[in-house]
Amino acid sequence: MTRPFAIILGCSDSRVPAEIVFDQGLGDLFVIRVAGNIVAPSQVGSVEFAAERYETRLVVVLGHTQCGAILATLEELRQPTEQSRNLLAIVDRIRPSVQGLLHTSLKDDPDALVREAVRANIRASADHLRHGSALLEQLIRDRGLLVVGAEYSLETGVVDFFDAPV
């Protein structure tokens, strides 16, 4: 059986296909993509499925610079609009990790704000996977499952694995 060696929870953005970013082939990666690399029940379930079935022991939450879902969330926080309920379901997953940043000095520096918001959202998704599932918690504790957060830079092509568990 082909066993993917990593599970990637990435953004749907057309510029960040996980297999190309990491130079991997068929069968190597179990990839879950959703706008804003958010973690909702179906994403947790997908990670649980792959970690159980394929015994994959590495999960990478892969966000990226200039993420449109983060930009949309920041716009929504500044000026709420009539979004579709479905789109709001994504924004609402991102909102808690970024809204606090609007009350810091970052609010006066739009580029820095987006940079920090992207990373805060990646951290939140990784934390959610580490603590939002009894099965994943057990695999982390007993079977060496590792969940890390990483950011792909559209500008440089570099992936920064900045969020590892302590």
Cβ 129 to Zn ion shortest distance, Å: 17
Judge contact between 47 and 9, C-beta under 8 A.
Answer: yes
Choice between 11 and 61, CB closer to Zn ion: 11
Shortest Å distance, C-beta 1 to Zn ion: 32
Residue closer to Zn ion, measured from CB, 50 or 67: 67
Instruction: Return the number of the residue (3 or 15) whose C-beta is nearest Zn ion.
Output: 15
**Which 28-87 positions form the footprint of Zn ion (CB under 5 A)?**
67
Give the one residue of 4, 7, 10, 13 binding Zn ion; rule: CB under 5 A: 13
* Phi, psi values for residue 148, rounded to 5°: -125, 155
* 11 lines the binding site for Zn ion (CB under 5 A): yes
Q: Residues 6 or more apart from 3 whose CB is under 8 A from it?
A: 54, 55, 56
Q: How far apart are CA 6 and CA 95, in angstroms?
A: 28
Alpha-carbon gap, residue 52 to 3, rounded angstroms: 11
Report CA 96 to chain centroid distance, whole Å. Answer: 14
Q: Judged by CB under 5 A, does residue 122 bind Zn ion?
A: no
Q: Which is nearer to Zn ion, 58 or 71 (CB)?
A: 71
Binding site for Zn ion (CB under 5 A): 11, 13, 67
